[in-house]
Amino acid sequence: MPTLPRLPLPRWRFAAAMLRALVPSDCPLCAARSRGGLLCAACEESVCWAARTPASLGLPWRCGRCALPLPEHDTACPDCAERATAFERTIIAFDYAPPADALILQLKNGLRYGRADLLGNLLAEAVRHHVLPLAPATVLVPIPASTASLRRRGFNPAAEIARALGRDLELPVRRDLLRRDREQAKQSSLGRLGRRQAAQNLYASSPRARGLHIGLVDDVMTTGSTMHAAAAALRAAGAASVVALAAARTPGQFPAAPPRRPRAEWRG
Ligand SMILES: [Zn+2]
Ligand SMILES: [Zn+2]
């Protein structure tokens, strides 16, 4: 497994990271000795390696829009080839699969709040490793949680990850630019089409999003329907661009060889 290059951090961020790294802790995945609540070096490399490494090195090809692993070299998955998403590309920290999915479950179900810092850190590293950097004035916007999940957990995991990501990348987090317009059925019981229909018109954006470059943050991207609906609302409000930033991407949603159709551009 090749050693990944690390991009330089600003000097004060580097000093803060060094200080945090001095605090001993256990690796959340393998319980090996680690520091600062982060993954041990071996786990970080094995979990994040595939998402950070360009496909040109022979690793899983990914859709240029939604980061779905593809079985062969192609620029877009069938979903994105059929309908351009309202977000222009996606950056993920890792695929939502064992053992790394435990980090998400520890945050969302186990209410281990410290995992948001870890996930924000891994996502920040993914942004730094990505071949296309974020626009310098990017504003981070978390996907708003439903009232039901806010009531159940008492917090919005996407907002906590956005907060940690913003602190790491020194980017502002804006929670006033996007809101849910209505509640919906629990998405985990829905298929791809059901998720797409359920997410339509789910979000509304403030006119203050006009002209902004947005980094739209979520914990897990499953089909991309939520990201698309939220990005569509932001674009409709005049956002200059939207990049999807997800801690984890579900890799198993690849449909079986659908026919290729001409791509319809997103409008509105
Ligand atoms: Zn470990
Ligand atoms: Zn795609």
Per-position pLDDT tens, the chain of length 268: 333 334 455 566 667 666 766 788 999 999 899 988 899 999 999 999 888 776 556 567 888 899 998 887 777 888 888 888 999 999 999 999 999 999 999 999 998 988 999 999 999 999 998 888 899 899 999 999 999 999 999 999 999 999 999 999 999 999 999 999 877 656 666 666 666 666 777 999 999 999 999 999 999 999 999 999 999 999 999 999 999 999 999 987 554 443 334 344 444 3
Return the CATH fold of 59-249.
Rossmann fold (3.40.50)
Ligand 2 centre to CA of 190 (Å) is: 19
CA distances from 252 to 18, 96, 122, 127 (A): 37, 9, 21, 23
Parse the chain into domains and list their residue ranges. 59-249
Q: And the tokens for 108? A: 């969302």
Please report which ligand is nearest the Cα atom of 244.
2
Residues with CB under 5 A from ligand 1 (ion): 27, 29-30, 32, 40, 43
Identify the residue whose tokens are 């797409």: 196
pTM of the model: 0.83
Q: And the tokens for 105? A: 């479950």
Ligand 2 centre to CA of 24 (Å) is: 40
Q: And the tokens for 176? A: 């006033």
